[in-house]
């Protein structure tokens, strides 16, 4: 695994649309052709979100493209996938979702040191249009400050 590149697929839209309050790292149940597509970075997480179904946490909206050499054994690209968390963490997330404006979104999908696929999820509150404008202003100010510091090597 030492020669393998580090694969990280981000959901940039999530941090813009939601104010992330709490983050968790979860395992994900995959088929063989899905992990092969992830290793080729053929994943999109743009509209991914999580929901509870019979006490289990599932992620919806993660598009893992079909594996090119998968033949008849290929997977369904946009199927719902089960997330693996400890029961204590599941209860904590479920309690957070009792609040009306809270939601759970997928933030990034990555391969850990052992080559296992993990999903970082965030419990967040939706931002309104005003909050989004404020977020953009803050990011532009940070970017400008860092460029000035880089220019003068501060």
pLDDT of res. 6: 78
pLDDT range class, residue 4, cuts 50, 70, 90: low
- Both structure tokens of 40: 């080729």
pLDDT of res. 44: 87
- Measured CA to CA, the distance from residue 154 to residue 151 in angstroms comes to 8
With CA atoms as reference, report the closest residue to 27 among 137, 138, 121, 145.
121
User: Could you tell me the pTM of the whole model?
Assistant: 0.76
pLDDT of res. 139: 86
- Average of pLDDT values for 86-109? 90
Per-residue pLDDT tens digits for 11-47: 888 887 888 899 999 999 988 888 888 888 888 888 8
CA triple 83-90-112, angle to 5 deg: 45
- Average of pLDDT values for 125-147? 83
Say if residues 49 and 60 touch (Cβ distance below 8 Å): yes
Alpha-carbon Rg for the chain in angstroms: 18
Q: Which of 60-74, 86-100, 103-117 has the lowest mean pLDDT?
A: 60-74
Return the higher-pLDDT residue of 116 and 32: 116
Please check the confidence at residue 90 and state whether its pLDDT lies above 90.
yes
Percentage of residues in the chain having pLDDT higher than 70: 95
DSSP secondary structure code for residue 73 in this structure? G
Q: Any idea where the domains of the chain sit in the sequence? A: 8-126
- Both structure tokens of 147: 């460029």
Please check the confidence at residue 2 and state whether its pLDDT lies above 50.
no
8-126 folds as Small Protein B; Chain: A; (2.40.280)
Q: Which of 55-59, 92-96, 128-132 has the lowest mean pLDDT?
A: 128-132
Please check the confidence at residue 69 and state whether its pLDDT lies above 90.
no
Please check the confidence at residue 1 and state whether its pLDDT lies above 60.
no
């Amino acid at each position: 695994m030492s020669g393998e590149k580090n694969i990280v697929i981000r959901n940039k839209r999530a941090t813009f649309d939601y104010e992330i309050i709490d983050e968790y790292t979860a395992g994900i149940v995959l088929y063989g052709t899905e992990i092969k597509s992830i290793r080729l970075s053929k994943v999109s997480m743009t509209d991914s979100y999580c929901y509870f179904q019979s006490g289990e946490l599932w992620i919806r909206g993660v598009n893992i493209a079909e594996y090119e050499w998968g033949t008849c054994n290929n997977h369904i690209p946009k199927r719902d996938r089960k997330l693996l968390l400890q029961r204590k963490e599941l209860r904590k997330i479920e309690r957070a979702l009792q609040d009306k404006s809270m939601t759970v979104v997928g933030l990034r999908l990555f391969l850990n040191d052992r080559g296992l696929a993990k999903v970082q999820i965030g419990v967040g509150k939706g931002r309104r249009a005003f909050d989004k404008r404020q977020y953009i202003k803050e990011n532009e100010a940070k970017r400008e400050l860092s460029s000035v510091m880089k220019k003068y090597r501060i």
